[in-house]
Amino acid sequence: MRCLAALTSLLLLAACSTVPSVAHHRAPASPDPAHSSRNALDWPGTYAGTLPCADCPGIELRLTLNDDGSYQLATRHIDRQTEPEQISGSFSWTYDGNHIQLDAAADHAFYAVREGSLLRRYADGSWPQADRIAGMSLTRQP
């Protein structure tokens, strides 16, 4: 009987050591709406910067985001235009509250909303590599 109890204890110990802990196998966390860029950052305002251009020295952008979900966007190709092109429209927040997408008037441009800046996503949907992030950012203006 003593051998059976010892064997049972060993089997239980072995079984417990091979069962992964719950902490290591958590399901992906769903976005926390209380802790998103939309709720935690002072995002309304004007952002400006120069984005890269395939066939020109750059494109100057000035984007104003308003509390009501509207925007105004001024773009100017540095070597082609003397005056910026002005458009306005509306933007929407992504489900996680950390990104915005402008409407069709702005070709559905997509930005990550960060502290004091917006990071533009490439047209193909990819994000800039680390060494190009500065060139794809718009900085909040005073």
| DSSP three-state, residue 104 | helix
Q: What is the CATH number of domain 37-140?
A: 2.40.128.640
pLDDT the model gives residue 81:
86
pLDDT the model gives residue 41:
87
Residue 93, beta-bridge partner list:
100
Tell me if the pTM is above 0.75.
Answer: no
pLDDT the model gives residue 113:
94
pLDDT the model gives residue 31:
53
pLDDT the model gives residue 138:
95
pLDDT the model gives residue 4:
40
Is there a contact between 119 and 112 (Cβ–Cβ < 8 Å)? yes
**Helices H / strands E in the chain, number of each:** 2, 8
| DSSP three-state, residue 39 | helix
Is there a contact between 100 and 94 (Cβ–Cβ < 8 Å)? yes
> In the chain, which residues have pLDDT < 70?
1-34, 123, 125, 130-132
pLDDT the model gives residue 16:
43
pLDDT the model gives residue 7:
39
